[in-house]
Amino acid sequence: MYGIFFVTLVAALTMPWWVAVPLMVFVLGYEYGPPVTVFAAVMMDALYGSHIVALYDFTFLYTAIFLFVAIIAIFLRERVVE
């Protein structure tokens, strides 16, 4: 788990978004992936987030997207495993 957390966090902080986002989607498939990706998305938004005027100055876009995708991944994992 620590290796996945470290790689995802380093990618979110140092890589461009088009490298970090697919890596974070890939990490969602692991058991401890959803909390790691949401944490990395919060870090990406805190460092690189900007106000989006079309969304009424909403700043945390990556966090909202990955929180939604993480909830879906957890729900699907529970349904498939059962």
The secondary structure of 14-81 as a DSSP string is HS-HHHHHHHHHHHTTSTTHHHHHHHHHHHHHHHH---BGGGTSB--HHHHHHHHHHHHHHHHHHHHH
pLDDT at 46: 86
pLDDT at 68: 92
What φ, ψ does residue 8 adopt, rounded to 5°? -65, -40
pLDDT at 41: 86
The residue extents of the domains of the chain are 2-81
Pick out the chain residues at pLDDT < 70. Answer: 1, 82
pTM for the complete prediction?
Answer: 0.76
